[in-house]
Amino acid sequence: MPDNKSVSEFEPDVVVVGSGAGGGIAAYVLTKAGIKTLILEAGRDYDPVSESAMLKWNREAPLLASSTPDKHFGYYDATVNGGWMVPGEPYTVAPGSKFRWWRSRMLGGRTNHWGRHSPRFGPYDFKPKSRDGLGMDWPVSYEEMAPWYDRTERLAGVIGANNGLENHPNSSPGVLQPAPKPRITELMIKAAANDLGIPCIPAHYAVLSRDIDHPDVPRQACFNASPCGRGCGIGAAYQSTTSVLPMAMATGKARIVTDATVTRVLTDASGKATGVEYFDKAGKAHSVRARVVVLAASACDTAKILLNSGKSGLANSSGEVGRNLMDTTGTNVRGHIPALEGRPRYNEDGMDVAHLYIPWWLYKEQAAGKLDFPRGYHYEIGGRFGAPGAGFSLGGMEDGYGVSLKEDARRYYGAQLSYTVRGEMIPNADSFCELDPDVKDKNGLPVLRFHWKWSQHEIRQIAHGIKTAKEMIGRLGGTVLTPDRTPEEAIEDGGVIIHELGTTRMGDKPSNSVTDGFGKSWDVNNLVIVDGSVFTSNAHKNPTLTIMALAWRSSEHLAERMRKGEV
Amino acid sequence: MAEISRRVTLSWIAAASSSLAVTGCDSQSTSGGLWKDLPLEPIQAKGYGLDAKLTEPTVPWPLTLDPVQRETLRIAADLMLPADSHSPSAGTLHLDAFIDEWVSAPYPVQQKDRDLILSGLAWLDAESAQRFKLDFRKAGDAQRRQVFDAIAFKKNIKPGYEKPAEFFARLRTLMMSGFYSMPEGMADIGYMGNTPSVGPYPGPTQEALAHLNAGLTKLGLKPV
């Protein structure tokens, strides 16, 4: 797909920086509107059809496909040339902070391996300050976003059901694809949850249960095998490399250049963007001119590019570039359930993703001031007859040796449940990124230095999540396997859930935000941002679907402005 | 749907046949009753890197255990996971070669395991020699069981045996991971996945649902 040679003759109208969730959608929308679009990707070309390790057995990989410093999520994880460290592109963490930053360097970026969990933000999520006085309201409402969510879900292909719950919006009729049948473990979790007044419903995931017969880019329904994180060569699990990027290329209006690390947005004397500077693999600098620059490098890399573009950063009259950095809260509670011991075997792989999940359910209690934390969380639930590999475990029930050990394995296999908490973080003044004054990357540019602090809002939320998970395990007659920890110990470090957001937030005025509600820079008329950096808040809902829906809306708005000659 | 080829050849089985020539350290036939941390040179080999070819995995580092260590591991594997009516023993599935691949890897977790496991293998010989004046591999089955009984059961670890017990637990985890990843182990435990199918996921069987409902009823929960 990429064409690294003929870029100089291409003369693009728009240059899009990044080919992941936001950049892929921008390329798709702009080229469909007839706009010549150049996509610059920092990583190498990547083809999931020939490169993803679908259906490989763990035993075929080094160390049973175990996690290593070369492949942090295991040998078969789709991530190329990345993980928690990228060679030549270090970052630093300020004393007293803990933060980790996951990146990949490949066409399609992190869409090649993401979790595909795709809940919509709801009406409360776009107006959080109006509801509880904390953070900031978005300049868009759910009502404005709803049609864009419909469109995005249709394009990506999202399984799920309309559950009609408070602040968990339904999709329009016919948009969602059918959800798979729940597993035994999920039905068990649901039984206990419902008994305790907690909902447990079909989850929304960007995985196809029906074929999509696109003339250029057909995609097959999930064949109920192989982990989505390995990448999906049949196109069932959404990633930009098997959908929007080839669709953009099919218009004839797109060019992709890989191994092109954008370092700066270039500007003229009036402050208008004229293009970008990028470095190729050999470390040679290039510049590309375009009418419009669209940034979709990921929240932190977009902030890095802007902070490196000009003295106090480009598009930064508000001083908000790099501020308001958010991640999702995370922890996990596991339990052993005697009622699941020795249960009848069947193929429990299904669509790899969770078929049910527990959405946040205590909005009314929060509104009534009955909880000591303001924002919600959800549980991603798990437990199944999983593929044996390096992590094979009977949940700590292993003991002794001999024939009895084999008997125990038969009895305890598939008898553990897991409750993974994923919750909302409210932006705070102590969590941000800035340029490191000393450390430079391979291209000689200052790297990011991260500052991080969870507030009591997040700590108390995690405490509630742990307590409630234990109650659900207890209701099933189970034993909690996770060691007792304080919520401060149990909460994952910043960045670990890989939902970095907020570093160029959108707002209703130039003084409090970097862009308007269409991702347009307040300061630079022809600079648009379409990645997670524009998030004003990070709801307790995984962000990628919202990144894509916003990118679509912002890209259409940009196309319209270009048509009218406003840019 | 494209038929995707599924190799069943194990990299570590392929490697096992050539490993005997690639011996690293000497045999550790120490005597005396106590645990000793062996002084080991760190592994210098390279890992597979950040962009390995995922569809054709290879193990780039050489195996490093000597024939005596491998034999001791094979005996330990057979004792830990012996043949029964469901599956063969772990030793016959070359789990010693898997452990060799593991402890020869250049990564931090594996290097830590290398210290623990190689010291543990030496401890097996030392303990066996103290009790029976025989290396572990030369001891009889009942004698080997006496050594295992001292370190294998969580509630039965006597003072002074904590470190050997830690070795045993770690080796057991690795052995079980390798064993149940093999076709024979997966058949034993009843893993039926990684098998593509056309159409909607069929979900649990009637038998599985009946078992669930019996469990839910016992817990006073609503059956599905």
pLDDT tens for A544-559 read 999 999 999 999 999 9
Band of pLDDT at residue B195, cut at 50, 70 and 90: very high
Q: Please give, rounded to a whole number of angstroms, the shortest distance from the CA of A300 to a CA of chain B.
A: 21
pLDDT at res. B12: 52
Whether the CB-CB separation of A438 and A444 falls below 8 Å is answered with no
d(CA A387, nearest CA chain B) in Å: 7
The CA-to-CA distance between both ends of chain A, in Å, stands at 29
Q: Cα–Cα distance between A554 and A530 in angstroms, integer?
A: 7
pLDDT the model gives residue B200: 96
Percent of chain B with pLDDT over 90: 84
In a domain, A353, yes or no: yes
State the burial class of residue B92 (Cβ atoms within 10 Å of its Cβ: 0-12, 13-18, 19+): middle
Tokens at A161, concatenated: 């059901």
Instruction: Verify whether the Cβ–Cβ distance B102 to A349 is below 8 Å.
Output: no
Q: How many CB pairs under 8 A join A and B?
A: 245
Residues in B closer than 8 angstroms to A348, CB to CB, are: 192-193, 204
pLDDT at B27: 37
pLDDT for B3: 29
SS3 letters across A211-275: CECCCCCCECCCCCCCCHHHCCCCCCECCHHHCHHHHHHHCCCEEEECCCEEEEEEECCCCCEEE
- Does residue A384 lie in a domain region? yes
Residue B37 has pLDDT above 50, yes or no: yes
- The Cα B139–Cα A308 span in angstroms is 69
Give the containing element (helix H, strand E) for A92: strand A92-93
How does residue B25 score in pLDDT terms, banded at 50, 70 and 90? very low
- Per the domain annotation, does A483 fall within a domain? yes
* Among B54, B57, B188, beta carbon nearest to A406: B188
> What pLDDT does B201 receive?
97
In eight-state DSSP terms, residue B158 is P
Report the pLDDT averaged over residues A122-127.
Answer: 98
Once rounded to an integer, what is the mean pLDDT over residues A170-188? Answer: 98
Mean pLDDT of chain A: 97
pLDDT at A396: 87
pLDDT band at residue B34 under the 50/70/90 scheme: confident
Within a domain: A152: no
Q: Rg of the Cα trace of chain B? A: 21
**Distance in Å, alpha carbon of A115 to nearest chain B alpha carbon:** 18
Whether the per-residue pLDDT at B1 is higher than 60: the answer is no
Mean pLDDT, rounded, for A305-320? 96
Instruction: Give the pLDDT confidence of A437-452 residue by residue, as tens digits.
Output: 999 999 999 999 999 9
A362-400, pLDDT tens digit by residue? 999 999 999 999 999 999 999 999 999 998 989 888 999
**Contact yes or no for A70 and B211 at CB 8 A:** no
Distance, in Å, from the CA atom of A18 to the CA atom of A108, rounded to the nearest integer, reads 8
Substitution target from B166, B180, B206 for chain A, most A beta carbons within 10 A: B180
Q: How many CA atoms lie within 13 A of A1 on its CB side?
A: 30
Query: Residue B32: pLDDT above 50?
Result: no
- Tens of pLDDT along A417-433? 999 999 999 999 999 99
Name the band, by pLDDT with cuts 50, 70 and 90, for residue A293.
Answer: very high
- Strand positions, DSSP E, A244-383: 254-257, 261-267, 273-279, 285-289, 292-295, 329-336, 356-357, 377-382
- The pLDDT-based confidence of A255 (bands split at 50, 70, 90) is very high
Reported as type and span, the H/E element at residue B72 is helix B67-80
Task: Give phi and psi for B129, each to the nearest 5.
Answer: -65, -40
Domain containing A404: what range? 174-202+329-423+456-490
Using alpha carbons only, how large is chain A's radius of gyration in Å? 23
CB atoms near residue A67 (< 10 Å): 17
Banded model confidence at residue A101, pLDDT cuts 50, 70, 90: very high
Residue type for A331, please?
T
In 3D, which of A493, A425, A496 has the Cα closest to residue A458? Answer: A425
> How many domains are contained in chain A?
1
* Closest by Cβ to B224, choosing from A52, A187, A385: A187
Using CA coordinates, name the residue in chain A closest to B53: A51
CA–CA separation, A302 and A26 (whole Å): 15
In tens, the pLDDT along A197-253 reads: 999 999 999 999 999 998 889 999 999 999 999 999 999 999 999 999 999 999 999
A381 found inside a domain: yes
CB B136 within 8 A of CB B72: yes
Give per-residue pLDDT as tens, B109-155.
999 999 999 999 999 999 999 999 999 999 999 999 999 999 999 99
Q: Which residues of B touch A194 (CB under 8 A)?
A: 222
Angle at A60 between CA A56 and CA A66, to 5 degrees: 95
Task: Report the complex ipTM.
Answer: 0.95
Q: Is residue A53 part of a domain?
A: no
Is residue B4 over pLDDT 80? Answer: no
Identify which of A398, A396, A368 has the alpha carbon closest to the alpha carbon of residue A482: A396
Cα nearest neighbour of A50 on chain B: B55
Q: How confident is the model at residue A3 (pLDDT cuts 50, 70, 90)?
A: confident
Q: Is there a domain that residue A94 lies in?
A: no
Q: What is the pLDDT of residue A391?
A: 81
Is the pTM of the predicted complex or chain greater than 0.80?
A: yes
Q: Exposure pattern of A373-383 as b/e (b: 16+ CB <10 Å)?
A: bbbbbbbbbbb
